[in-house]
Amino acid sequence: MAQREVKQAFVSNLNGTSLGEVALGSFLAPVCLILRAFILVLYYQAKGTLPLPLPLTSHVLLDFSVLVLPLVLSCTLLSSVLLQVIVCLTFMSACVFCYIYRTSFLSSVVWPQKIVNLLQSHVEFHQVPFVTLFRVFVNLKTAISILAVDFSVFPRRYAKTETYGTGVMDFGVGAFIFANALVSPEARRRSISGSKMSHITKQIQSVWPLLALGMARLVSIKMTGYHEHVTEYGIHWNFFFTLAIVRVLASVLLSVLPAGQLWLFALLISGFYQFALETSELKTFLMHNNDREKDFVHANKEGIFSIAGYVAIYLTGVQIGLYVMQPRSQVKDCLKMLFILFLGSLLLYAALFICQTLVEPVSRRSANLPFVIWSVAQSLFFMSCLGLADMVILFSKGACCCRFLPSSMNFEEKKLTPLAYKNKGEIERLCLIQAVSRNQLLFFLLANLMTGVTNSVVDTLSCSNLFSVCVLLLYMFMNCLVIYVLHICGITVKFW
């Protein structure tokens, strides 16, 4: 069997993992964020200032070591002990928090009053840090997975499923759509200038980079003979085309649908699509894999028909974005928002259990109703975990009077001195998360290009586990370094 067929078989016919294991992975990034913040807080307590010495080097190495390295190890060498890894990191963070608590609160007999004051404190809300964190970590995990899946050290249960199941990479697809919707113009309540038709035309024009990237990926794959998993999207289709078409269709719908009932229309779209799957020959058509040569629709049926499910995810993401982006002045209001997100996740998981019992299991291949519910439920759960981590970091900053930490919520300042304002900007400039957030599409494109280059240079299937992890770390470090340098230089790459 040719090498191309061997690699294609390696990523095919997989069944995924459990819902619990995917949910368990949601705790890793928040714990890493808290640990990174506590390291900076300890340094601030010791020296009374930030950033770290040799800031350009020390901050990127800290962020890579604490935020990216655990993500790589958790889906490779440490995948079988993921729970123990999370427990150990949580224990380390708890110990540091206890130290911060003792040195900050214990000296005062009125520490309960300080906690009450923190709850009533006002926060800056021109941005929602955990939304940025969600989008960045979805991008980071996607970048890791698209190359790691070609190595044998990557667990097969994490890869995309063939027909039914819940793989970690299956969630990544839905989460990517959801993340884009969270910061869409509609979610941020940007007013539409001109007529609705001109707005739709503008949105159509804005997706040309995605279409161009999709065409470039298609041509490069066909010319190089790069292995491809046909049942993901089809023979000619890829995720860039899905992103572009979902964005256009969603813009059309959002121009006519009432903002407050987007979740209802998302439910109707996914519900009618599921009804069509159950009552017609559509499901058999999508799952049958021996008719690819008939025409374009048969060749790319997964990519074409799954758009209905992705549009439903996108509309729901806009609805969540509208809620999350609402101005909130106090810490307790933010905690209430996180509780509602977590409660929504639990309710959706209950609905998912009913759907999987009475209808059919989750299927990324068809993007059916259970897949839509699972994608949104897991996204809300991950967001609430990141938001809770942000609250822990905020409380630690309030305890030690550390004003600024990168990619976290800040207490409202009446008036910043020029020095404090400069210090805040410098800390954000040195943050890897802010670097990825600044050029998200470029990071995703760079990861795809580096994946192709790595596969052409390295025989991924014959690599040892240790060598595979070293390759993945080098690959991620190069991706992050390019984006970090652009951020340091203040460069934002726009394709339109």
In a domain, 228, yes or no: yes
Q: What is the pLDDT of residue 418?
A: 62
Q: What is the pLDDT of residue 20?
A: 95
Concatenated DSSP letters for 278-345? Answer: HHSSHHHHHH--S-TTS-HHHHTHHHHHTHHHHHHHHHHHHHHHHHHTS---BHHHHHHHHHHHHHHH
In a domain, 147, yes or no: yes
In a domain, 335, yes or no: yes
In a domain, 25, yes or no: yes
What's the CA gap between 297 and 304, in Å, rounded? 7
For 51, 54, 61, 317, 422, the CA distances from 57, given in Å and listed in that order, are 11, 6, 6, 36, 19
In a domain, 72, yes or no: yes
Q: What is the pLDDT of residue 109?
A: 45
Q: Which residue type occupies 378?
A: Q
What's the CA gap between 247 and 177, in Å, rounded? 9
| Closest to 134 measured CA to CA, from 86, 87, 174 | 174
Torsion sign over Cα 262, 267, 272, 276:
positive
The pLDDT tens digits along the chain (496 residues) read 566 677 777 777 788 999 999 999 999 999 999 999 999 988 888 887 888 888 889 999 999 999 999 999 999 999 999 999 999 999 999 998 888 877 765 444 455 666 666 666 777 766 688 999 999 999 999 999 999 999 999 999 999 999 999 999 999 999 999 999 999 888 887 666 566 677 677 777 778 888 888 898 888 888 777 767 788 898 889 999 999 999 999 988 998 898 889 999 999 999 999 999 999 999 999 988 777 777 888 889 999 999 999 999 999 999 999 999 888 878 888 899 999 999 999 999 999 999 999 999 999 999 999 999 999 999 999 999 999 999 888 888 777 777 778 877 777 666 556 656 566 778 888 899 999 999 999 999 999 999 989 988 998 888 999 999 999 999 999 999 999 999 999 999 875 5
What's the CA gap between 64 and 484, in Å, rounded? 11
Q: What is the pLDDT of residue 106?
A: 47
Q: What is the pLDDT of residue 18?
A: 94
In a domain, 494, yes or no: no
What's the CA gap between 249 and 197, in Å, rounded? 13
pTM, whole model, 2 decimals? 0.93
Structural domain range at position 408: 3-488
Q: What is the pLDDT of residue 420?
A: 61
Q: What is the pLDDT of residue 305?
A: 95
Q: What is the pLDDT of residue 342?
A: 97
In a domain, 495, yes or no: no
Concatenated DSSP letters for 58-120? Answer: HHHHHHIIIIIHHHHHHTTTTGGGHHHHHHHHHHHHHHHHHHHHHHHTTT-TTHHHHHHHHHT
Number of structural domains the chain divides into: 1
In a domain, 193, yes or no: yes
